Amino acid sequence: MPDDEPLDWRAALALLANADTRAVFAQVAAAPVAPGAARDRALKRLLAAGLLEAGADGPVVAEGRLRATLGRAAAPPASGPERFLSRDGRIQDYPSRATDRRALLEYLVARALEPEEELSEPELGERLGPRTDDVATLRRYLVDAGLLERSPDGRRYRRVPGVPPLPGQEPAGSGGNAPEAS
């Protein structure tokens, strides 16, 4: 592997999370460290980064954190409209392809409003807020896409009939039981 080729960080982190491979790495990488200030600075950096943690006999490798980081990073990539959302469900970027954008907007409106539900602009803003920093833009996209309709006075919003519901969600009067609001 050429020196300028980046490492597969997942593989490197997995090796450092393993006590045996970490011990061999430490033996190979061991270099004399000046006692005192240089060592103290290095320990502070490693502790601050979370690679080491305080142990009963001094600093120890934070294996749990390494494994947790690896586990979080190893999650399979999202598919469908979720792939445009961050891990906390916020919009990372609006897709440029019309079909992807439509799928994302349908996904978001189905999570923000129940079928037949009507919300005021502030209520809708509260529902959309956890998904975006720019609620007005998302609201406008939903209206422009024909997924939300605004009342004639512009103060109330509701899902447009016919917008696909989420699995298990049925419009009122469809013969099924509408989910209860929580």
The architecture that CATH gives domain 80-159 is: Orthogonal Bundle (1.10)
Could you give the angle at the alpha carbon of 97 between the alpha carbons of 99 and 123, nearest 5°?
70
Q: Tell me the H-state helices in 31-120.
A: 37-49, 63-73, 98-112
User: Where in the sequence of the chain do the CATH 1.10.10 domains occur?
Assistant: 80-159
pTM: 0.52
Determine the pLDDT at residue 136.
Answer: 95
* Residues facing 156 on adjacent strands: 120
Read off the pLDDT band of 173 (50, 70, 90): very low
Read off the pLDDT band of 176 (50, 70, 90): very low
Burial of 36 per CB tally in 10 Å (0-12, 13-18, 19+): exposed
Strand order across the beta sheet in which 148-150 lies? 118-120, 156-159, 148-150
d(CA 115, CA 170): 7
| Residues 64-122: tens digit of each pLDDT | 887 887 777 656 667 889 899 988 889 988 999 999 999 999 999 999 998 889 999 99
